[in-house]
Amino acid sequence: MSAIHSIDFLYTISGFAVGLLVGMTGVGGGALMTPLLILLFGINPAAAVGTDLFYAAVTKSAGGIVHGFNRTVDWRVVRRLATGSVPMTVVTTAALSLLDINGPATRQLIGAALAFTLFLTAATLVFRNAMTARYAARIGGLPEDRIALLTVVVGGVLGILVSISSVGAGAIGVTALVLLYPKLRTARIVGTDIVHAVPLALAAGIGHWFLGSIDWRIFLALILGSIPGILIGSYAAVRVPETALRIVLAVTLFAVATKLTFGLLPPGPNIVAAQSPH
């Protein structure tokens, strides 16, 4: 087997593993895939983010279909989130277009945003139960119009974070939904979060496509593994306890964020260049 085929196979295995976790917990898409592409495979950070966004859009579409059939999606909440996230995604990618997408400043921006969002994601995974026990009843008891507005604001914040780092729509989005909608079952919150991530990741991915920061060869290899992974994970979502998975994910994300914080990104000359759509 050639070196290229071996690398493609590793991408496919990575896609399957991450897709499985996303289907079961709603967490782990960008939070695991983007750091994997950067730290393990040496991909340019901008290319890693852009490629992962399209990967997430397709992967979570498959998971969303399963959750739709299982009737574990609250479409009212999806609309509220998308009302905030999609416009902010457009604004954020437009701002990124003003920078050199492969330049050192953009690398530092993406690295810092990724590390921050990973730390935040890890914290929400660990302390979600404590936060919901303390605040869910209070926040969930707000008037319906206030809940709707806060949901749109949450969507806007997710739009910014995901457009820069491809991370945030999973653990952060799920935690926000648990706080805002404490009466929703966990499987329904996960399904709602996964479905909302589709237009969010697609809008951000299209923006990165125009920026020239997508590697289509890697994207196809990831998709070959991720679709069966998320289908299996989504089917098992209502059958597998997620507490242990959340703790393992949190520890992993904390370790990855620490590496990014201390500047352990691959050196510039050895990073695979982003591929332009042109």
pLDDT for the residue 247: 72
- What is the Cβ-side half-sphere exposure of residue 9, based on CA atoms within 13 angstroms? 6
pLDDT for the residue numbered 263: 58
% of residues, the chain, pLDDT over 90: 17
Does 273 reside within a domain? no
Predicted local confidence at residue 30, as pLDDT = 66
Q: What is the pLDDT of residue 268?
A: 46
Q: How many domains does the chain have?
A: 1
- Higher-pLDDT residue of 24 and 49 is 49
Across 226-253, average pLDDT: 72
| Residue 258 lies inside a defined structural domain of this protein | yes
In a domain, 209, yes or no: yes
> Quick check: is 23 in a domain?
yes
pLDDT of 126 higher than 70: yes
pLDDT tens sequence across 41-95: 888 888 889 898 888 888 778 778 888 888 889 999 999 999 999 999 999 999 9
pLDDT at 83: 96
Please check whether residue 267 lies inside any domain of the structure: no
Q: Across the chain, what does the average pLDDT equal?
A: 81
Report residue 213 as tokens.
Answer: 């920061």
In a domain, 271, yes or no: no
The pLDDT of residue 238 is 58
% pLDDT > 70, the chain:
84
> Tokens for 178?
């648990």
pLDDT score of 203 more than 80: yes
pTM of the model: 0.77
Determine the structural domain holding residue 205 and report its residue range. 3-262
Residue 277 lies in a domain: no
pLDDT at 80: 96
Residue 112 lies in a domain: yes
